[in-house]
Amino acid sequence: MATSKSAKRKIPSQKANRAIAPRHSEKPSVASAPPQGKHFLSDKVGHFTESVIREMTRQAMLHGAVNLAQGFPDFSAPAEIKQAAQRAVAGDVNQYAITWGAKNLRNAIARQMGIWQGIAVDPEKEITVCCGSTEAMISTLLAVCNAGDEVVIFEPFYENYGPDSVLSGAKPRFVKLRPPKEEDGDWTFDEKELRRAFDKHTKAIILNTPNNPTGKVFTRKELELIRDLCVEFDVLAITDEIYEHILYDGTEHISMVSLEGMRERTVTINGMSKTYSVTGWRVGWAVAPEKITNAIRKVHDFLTVGAPAPLQEAGAAALSLPEEYYANLATGYRVRRDHLMPALNASGFKCFRPRGAYYVMTDISAFGFDDDVSFARYLVQEIGVATVPGSSFYRDPRDGARQVRFAFCKKPETLDEASRRLRQLRPKNPK
Ligand SMILES: Cc1ncc(COP(=O)(O)O)c(C=O)c1O
């Protein structure tokens, strides 16, 4: 987790920052001298660091490494949606969209939720389009949390949820996902531990399925168990479903909102980044009951005013792609997963097979390094492959000290080059 503890562990060599430090020959003028004694920074920002994932991308660029760290495709986005974006810009859709989202996109989101989840959504009252699902998540938490509220989060967790909780004043309560014993097994959680995390202070649970970083896809039985706790303790489910179409081995994505009793207590977050390979467009959304949507819309309006207007029009076109687009997307990622995993196994990693999303968590015990951070640093600097150290997905860095995560949303030649470089590794304790 990107907490202040992990500041020390951050993969350093911050050359880029030197550009903004004052040159020694320059004396600050009186006007620009820092005032003494005043504490200018928010206490909140002291509780987390910059993202380790995004830092690893900068490290990859610095060292000329193959970037299997951050989850963005290095291949093209679909031609149809790029053309739709070009048409929107040329057609002068260049001013603010309606703050909570362009009508065409909201209609398309509502239509697709009906088709995919069997849920009827009112596009006028229940959808807020944001600058990526990242903004949808923080806007939601800011809209629903008060100081002292608790938010249940499964760990390992997508890095943003920790700082999101801090910024919204909520206290995260972590519940462990335990890795499978065998490569083919599933990550599991202990029912009793989950129940212990719920009490009268619990405002929400954040659920990410398909899951980053584990690749876990929560089953109906697991979701029903979580649903029962949400109902018993009067808790909201905030679900991050941005990998909903990236599924393997016959797994099924089930949206929490589709479970009986959850329609009025679920915020469903999704976005274009992963499904349409456009992580740079920054278009995502939150679907929630009207009252919660009104609160999310207020926060969203004052945070960003709105998501990029022409890209929202292209979003409406993307959501109209035929069903086969989604089947091909999942097949393409399955091929990539099955391309990278044997190479990782052959180089000495123990892989946990993902059932969804486009990451593979690995156990690095065989390499005999002190921890994940020193290993990730060695990989990026000496071997030329960037990964994400496992500790960035945990509250206690020791829990991730034997893990690193690889992203496989890359071209075959990128995966081949990474595999070639990883062959230089010499495991000390082969499996
Ligand atoms: C689980 C999860 N949620 C959200 C995001 C960010 O999504 P967006 O680009 O829509 O902000 C990521 C990106 O890696 C992710 O893995």
Residue 35 CA to ligand 1 centre (angstroms)? 39
Distance CA 150, CA 152 (A): 7
Q: What is the pLDDT of residue 383?
A: 96
Cβ(289) – ligand 1 distance below 6 Å: no
Q: What is the pLDDT of residue 182?
A: 82
Q: What is the pLDDT of residue 430?
A: 64
Distance CA 258, CA 266 (A): 9
Q: What is the pLDDT of residue 34?
A: 58
Q: What is the pLDDT of residue 19?
A: 23
Q: What is the pLDDT of residue 52?
A: 83
Cα–Cα distance list, 246 to 4, 82, 127, 308, 331 (Å): 33, 21, 23, 25, 8
Where does residue 8 rank: exposed (0-12), middle (13-18), buried (19+ CB within 10 A)?
Answer: exposed
Residue among 242, 253, 311, 312 whose CB has most ligand 1 atoms within 8 A, to mutate? 242
Half-sphere exposure for 278 (CA within 13 Å, toward CB): 22
Which pTM value belongs to this model?
0.91
Residue 315 CA to ligand 1 centre (angstroms)? 16
Question: Which DSSP letter does residue 382 get?
Answer: I
Cβ(240) – ligand 1 distance below 6 Å: yes
Q: What is the pLDDT along the chain (431 residues), one digit of tens a residue?
A: 444 444 334 443 333 322 222 333 344 455 555 556 678 888 888 888 778 888 888 888 999 999 999 899 999 999 999 999 999 999 999 999 999 999 999 999 999 999 999 999 999 999 999 999 999 999 999 999 999 999 999 999 999 999 999 899 999 999 999 999 887 889 999 999 999 999 999 999 999 999 999 999 999 999 999 999 999 999 999 999 999 999 999 999 999 999 999 999 999 999 999 999 999 999 999 999 999 999 999 999 999 999 999 999 999 999 999 999 999 999 999 999 999 999 999 999 999 999 999 999 999 999 999 999 999 999 999 999 999 999 999 999 999 999 999 999 999 999 999 999 999 998 887 66
Residue 39 CA to ligand 1 centre (angstroms)? 33
**What is the b/e burial string over 109-142, where b = at least 16 CB atoms within 10 angstroms of the residue's CB?**
bbeebeebbebebebeebbbbbbbbbbbbbbbbb
Cβ(244) – ligand 1 distance below 6 Å: no
Cβ-contact 333, 246 below 8 angstroms? yes
Residue 278 CA to ligand 1 centre (angstroms)? 11
Residue among 267, 274, 300 whose CB has most ligand 1 atoms within 8 A, to mutate? 274
Q: What is the pLDDT of residue 55?
A: 85
